[in-house]
Structure formats: structure tokens, C-alpha cells
Amino acid sequence: IQEGCINHALLTAQAIANDGLPLIGWVANRINPGLAHYAEIIDVLGKKLPAPLIGELPYLPRAEQRELGQYIRLAMLRSVLAVDRVTV
């Protein structure tokens, strides 16, 4: 997550809604370990995005060589997918 991500995330959520699609969740991806306001950014996104936070990837050097699935909240994802199957 970096400074401009709030605006980008909100615009992306709006584009998804404009296409008539449901936003079922979002994943935070920390790409800058020195970001001063990380917790505040996550809090703002959690309040403004119309979907739950389903995962939070910490800063990981060489993340492409790691198993990242452990950072996804699978129970939350299953719950959201089960609800969306019924309502979509």
C-alpha cells in the first residue's frame, strides 16, 4: 500500500460498480515497509470500500518466491462467495 492507494481503490470500486459487478472483497498489499500512515490507510479503506478486507499481505522482500495464501482470510472469502452465489 502506498500514499495514492485510497483514491485508486475508490475509483476501482466505482468502476466495478459501474460495470454492474459486485465487489466481494479486497486485499491490502504493503509494498513500502516505511510507509508512515499504513494503519490509517487500512482503516480508511475499510470504512470506505463496500466490501470486506479479505487479506493483508505484509511487506515481503521477494514476495514472488513465497507462499502468499497464508495471508488470505479464507473463512471470510468463503463466506462472501457463498452469499454472492445466492444474490448474484
Q: How confident is the model at residue 88 (pLDDT cuts 50, 70, 90)?
A: very low
- DSSP-derived letter for residue 3 is T
**Given a cut of 50, is residue 86 above it in pLDDT?**
no
pLDDT at 60: 82
Strand partners, 26: 53
**For domain 5-87, which architecture applies?**
3-Layer(aba) Sandwich (3.40)
Q: Judging by DSSP bridges, how do beta strands 53-57 and 26-29 pair with one another?
A: parallel
**Given a cut of 60, is residue 7 above it in pLDDT?**
yes
Q: What pTM was computed for the model?
A: 0.77
Q: How confident is the model at residue 61 (pLDDT cuts 50, 70, 90)?
A: confident
Quick one: average pLDDT of 8-21? 96
Q: Do residues 21 and 51 lie in contact, with contact meaning Cβ atoms separated by under 8 Å? A: no
Q: Distance between CA atoms of 73 and 28, rounded to whole angstroms?
A: 12
